[in-house]
Amino acid sequence: MNNIFKNLAIWLVIGVVLMTVISKISGNPAAGARAVSYSDFIESVRAGRLKNVVIQDGSMTPEIVAETADGSKIHTTGTRLDNKLIDDLVRSNTQFDVKPREEQSWFLSALLNWFPMLLLIGVWIFFMRQMQGGGRGGAFSFGKSKARMLDESSNSITFADVAGCDEAKEDVSEFVDFLRDPSKFQKLGGRIPKGALMVGSPGTGKTLLAKAIAGEAKVPFFSISGSDFVEMFVGVGAARVRDMFENAKKHAPCIIFIDEIDAVGRQRGAGMGGGNDEREQTLNQLLVEMDGFEGTTGVIVIAASNRPDVLDPALMRPGRFDRQIVVPLPDIRGREQILRVHMRKVPIAPDVDAMVLARGTPGMSGADLANLVNEAALFAARSNKRLVDMDDFEKAKDKIFMGPERRSMVLTEDERRATAYHESGHAVVAKILPGTDPVHKVTIMPRGRALGLTWQLPERDAISLYKDQMLSTISILFGGRIAEDLFVHRISTGASNDFERATRMARDMVTRYGMSDKMGPMVYGENEGEVFLGRSVTTHKSVSETTMQEVDGEIRRIIDEQYALAQKILEDNRDKVEAMTAALMEWETIDADQINDIMDGRPPRPPKAVVTPPSSRQDNSPGAAPNAAAPA
């Protein structure tokens, strides 16, 4: 703000000076008059061609301005030695007046003479100051820190605004106690932790939790991203780290929050060619500032990253980041609390139950739940509702999990029927196999990049995967392709993603999880994809060719057995596949109640809102092959 006011004052002074000079020039009576010689002026006087003459006296060369008979103005410079000028004016009956001439002050005279040069010098100085960082944003201010400071007045977030991570809040609450009353711990020999690293999946609330720490402790909060340190010039990153810690020491006790620290804190010497030397200089400076020879007091560094595996070990040791705080995905109670926090900002109908929504959103992060509430509010606004009801939340949940509906997509009747058989194959296998997640919804409405979807919704949060569950999932993935082969007698490319996921899961069972009786509990995977993560430049082969052939044989055995199992289930339940396909062709989307009716041999109950298939979608244009979304 001070820089803004200073710049405004400079331009205001320049404007006043310009206005003064312009007014002086425009106030001159000779302005706009035609200059003539003194002899021509005398001739005009004697000929009587002048109506009015003004003589500005006051010096040896008076200024003379005259108005001619045709209305134009002329001016000339006279002399005091001409004593007959007045006689000539009287004889020609010309009206004249003598006025004292205003003498310019020495200041105004110097200003008029030197103003252009002073203006150029002032503009040059102004732009040089801007380039050198006069406003902390110039061309030479690269070494200045870009950390944004939030004080007590601009940060109103507290622990009440953070939900779904109670254990993480307990861990960071000690930082608040340290900042509020450090003597409470120092008298027992304890010291303030230097830093904490918050680790968790994207969207779990790491940045929000760091803001809540500063809001609760009521201390300054410096926020910066890891990518803000390094730019195109050498040494900029290290200079910005020094400047940031210098500013933080002036406002101690305070908190420095570095978001996405893996952008600058990756392991040194990583990647091809020895890594990025500029980034390593920045990391070295950060290590020194956090726990170097000088040390810091009252400055706590909190960093967030979802890739702790690539960080440098020197950054992770005690004395720098003393604690690692895991911010996990919320469980069912955490999701309920998060939903209640976001529902405060939306007018909610009485039928909305946060616990029901939390039970139906396993695996969602805090950001996902905030997006769910926002999407539900948008659906309600499109329908001109005054309150957001449960139906809006169901539509928002379908859109987030399955993608937006593509009602304008043109499909032929044969393609719709093939898609219906494909999805029915997934659903029937999922309902017959024990221990699988319940089928929540089946649709042949194109959503996202898929022509149809089978959505399985877990009853509870899944902590681990088990062998029988993984085998059943492989069978479910094959159900769509087998149904096409059995009922449509044509094989499409729509099951390519199903095969890819099934093959990957079978390979992980054999090579990573020890779920093969023949290969035993041993890891057969290779070190792949770590060239740029900081630990290896080449892959290390730990098994022989013969062993890898046996691994491939086990993967083939698992896939063949589950394929045969799914095929037998569909051959034994042809009537259920046909009934489910007919329901999908009629209504396009069926829910869990209708699926249960079909599996129990009853006619499916009609949906609450019947969606009539648009006839515009039924033409002879070619469409994409059916594609099923396998269970989550």
Query: What DSSP string describes 392-428?
Result: HHHHHHHHHHH--B-TT----HHHHHHHHHHHHHHHH
Whole-number pLDDT of residue 155: 64
Q: Angle at Cα 528 formed by Cα 523 and Cα 534, nearest 5°? A: 115
C-alpha pair distances (Å), 204 with each of 215, 332, 335, 365 = 19, 14, 11, 5
- Burial call 327-338: b when 16+ CB within 10 Å, e when fewer: bebbeeebbbbb
Who's near 31: CB < 8 A, 6+ residues apart? 25
State whether 291 and 345 are in the same domain.
no
Most confident of 82-96, 111-125, 347-361: 347-361
- 129 belongs to a structural domain: no
pLDDT higher than threshold 50 for residue 380: yes
Order of strands across the sheet with 589-591? Answer: 589-591, 439-443, 452-456, 628-629
What is the average per-residue pLDDT within 95-100?
A: 76
Q: Angle at Cα 290 formed by Cα 289 and Cα 291, nearest 5°? A: 100
Whole-number pLDDT of residue 296: 56
CATH of the domain at 67: 3.30.720.210
- What residues are designated binding site? 200-207, 422, 426, 498
C-alpha pair distances (Å), 207 with each of 224, 416, 445 = 11, 46, 38
Whole-number pLDDT of residue 146: 58
Q: Who wins on pLDDT, 137 or 381?
A: 381
The predicted-structure confidence for 488-528, as pLDDT tens digits, reads as follows: 888 777 778 888 888 988 988 888 888 888 888 888 865 44
pLDDT higher than threshold 50 for residue 590: yes
pLDDT higher than threshold 70 for residue 15: yes
Query: What's 517's DSSP letter?
Result: T
- For all residues of the chain together, what is the average pLDDT? 75
- What residues are designated binding site for Zn(2+)? 422, 426, 498
What is the average per-residue pLDDT within 353-363?
A: 83
Reading the block at residue 79, the tokens are: 């002399």
Whole-number pLDDT of residue 593: 81
Q: Lowest mean pLDDT: which of 17-21, 253-257, 447-451, 464-468?
A: 17-21
Whole-number pLDDT of residue 117: 76
- 140 belongs to a structural domain: no
Q: Angle at Cα 256 formed by Cα 254 and Cα 258, nearest 5°? A: 170
Task: Note whether 194 and 319 are within 8 A (CB).
Answer: yes
- 590 belongs to a structural domain: yes
In this prediction, residue 13 has a pLDDT band, given cuts at 50, 70 and 90, of confident
State whether 521 and 608 are in the same domain.
yes
What is the average per-residue pLDDT within 286-305?
A: 76
What is the average per-residue pLDDT within 438-451?
A: 76
- What residues are designated binding site for ATP? 200-207
State whether 374 and 485 are in the same domain.
no
Whole-number pLDDT of residue 408: 66
**Which residue type sits at 493?**
T
Whole-number pLDDT of residue 149: 62
Q: Who wins on pLDDT, 154 or 125?
A: 125
Distance (Å, whole) CA 512 – CA 526:
10
State whether 291 and 339 are in the same domain.
no
Task: Note whether 202 and 306 are within 8 A (CB).
Answer: yes
Whole-number pLDDT of residue 592: 79
The predicted-structure confidence for 43-65, as pLDDT tens digits, reads as follows: 888 887 888 888 777 656 777 78
Distance (Å, whole) CA 120 – CA 15:
14
Most confident of 8-12, 113-117, 294-298, 353-357: 353-357
Most confident of 14-18, 335-339, 453-457: 335-339
In this prediction, residue 102 has a pLDDT band, given cuts at 50, 70 and 90, of low
The predicted-structure confidence for 473-497, as pLDDT tens digits, reads as follows: 888 888 888 888 888 888 777 778 8
Distance (Å, whole) CA 517 – CA 387:
57
Tokens 């329908």 correspond to 383
Indicate if 423 belongs to the active site: yes
Whole-number pLDDT of residue 624: 34
- Residue 155, classed as helix, strand or coil, is coil
In this prediction, residue 623 has a pLDDT band, given cuts at 50, 70 and 90, of very low
- 499 belongs to a structural domain: yes
pLDDT higher than threshold 80 for residue 561: yes
Report, in angstroms and rounded to the nearest whole number, the Rg of the chain calculated over CA atoms: 41
pLDDT higher than threshold 50 for residue 566: yes
C-alpha pair distances (Å), 320 with each of 73, 207, 211, 333 = 85, 19, 20, 34
CATH of the domain at 361: 1.10.8.60
State whether 338 and 322 are in the same domain.
no
State whether 271 and 156 are in the same domain.
yes
- 124 belongs to a structural domain: no
The residue segments making up the domain with residue 347 are 332-402
Distance (Å, whole) CA 72 – CA 33:
8
Who's near 375: CB < 8 A, 6+ residues apart? 395, 396, 399, 400
State whether 518 and 458 are in the same domain.
yes
What is the average per-residue pLDDT within 551-565?
A: 89
In this prediction, residue 396 has a pLDDT band, given cuts at 50, 70 and 90, of confident
State whether 153 and 66 are in the same domain.
no
Whole-number pLDDT of residue 621: 30
pLDDT higher than threshold 80 for residue 387: yes
The predicted-structure confidence for 138-172, as pLDDT tens digits, reads as follows: 444 555 655 566 666 666 777 877 877 777 888 88
Cis peptide before 253 (omega within 30 of 0): yes
pLDDT higher than threshold 70 for residue 193: yes
Whole-number pLDDT of residue 533: 46
C-alpha pair distances (Å), 32 with each of 27, 35, 100, 112, 284 = 11, 9, 21, 19, 72
End position of a domain, from candidates 82, 106, 130: 106
pLDDT higher than threshold 50 for residue 265: yes
pLDDT higher than threshold 80 for residue 96: no
Task: Note whether 303 and 258 are within 8 A (CB).
Answer: yes
The predicted-structure confidence for 222-234, as pLDDT tens digits, reads as follows: 888 777 776 656 6
Whole-number pLDDT of residue 153: 63
What percent of the chain shows pLDDT beyond 90?
0
pLDDT higher than threshold 80 for residue 374: yes
End position of a domain, from candidates 402, 437, 456: 402
Q: What is the DSSP string of 13-63?
A: HHHHHHHHHHHHHHT-TTTTPEE--HHHHHHHHHHT-EEEEEEEESSSS-E
Distance (Å, whole) CA 551 – CA 508:
11
State whether 417 and 535 are in the same domain.
yes
Nearest to 80, CA basis, from 103, 102, 96, 58: 58
State whether 473 and 359 are in the same domain.
no
Is the Cα dihedral 21, 23, 28, 30 positive or negative?
Answer: positive
What is the average per-residue pLDDT within 619-632?
A: 34
pLDDT higher than threshold 80 for residue 39: yes
In this prediction, residue 130 has a pLDDT band, given cuts at 50, 70 and 90, of low
Task: Note whether 100 and 76 are within 8 A (CB).
Answer: no
pLDDT higher than threshold 60 for residue 136: no
- 338 belongs to a structural domain: yes
What percent of the chain shows pLDDT beyond 70?
76
What is the average per-residue pLDDT within 118-145?
A: 62
The beta strand positions in 101-212, using DSSP E, are 148-150, 195-199
Whole-number pLDDT of residue 447: 73
What is the average per-residue pLDDT within 96-124?
A: 69
Whole-number pLDDT of residue 627: 37
- Estimate the crossing angle of helix 332-343 against helix 366-382, to 10 degrees: 50
Whole-number pLDDT of residue 148: 62
Whole-number pLDDT of residue 92: 80
CATH of the domain at 526: 1.20.58.760
- 316 belongs to a structural domain: yes
- 121 belongs to a structural domain: no
Whole-number pLDDT of residue 619: 33
State whether 574 and 543 are in the same domain.
yes
End position of a domain, from candidates 326, 341, 368: 326
pLDDT higher than threshold 80 for residue 255: yes
pLDDT higher than threshold 50 for residue 300: yes
State whether 317 and 336 are in the same domain.
no
Torsion angle of C-alpha atoms 344, 349, 351, 357, degrees rounded to 10: -40
What is the average per-residue pLDDT within 324-328?
A: 85
Instruction: Please pick, among 63, 415, 423, 484, the residue that the annotation labels catalytic.
Output: 423
Count of domains forming the chain: 4
- Residue 453, classed as helix, strand or coil, is strand
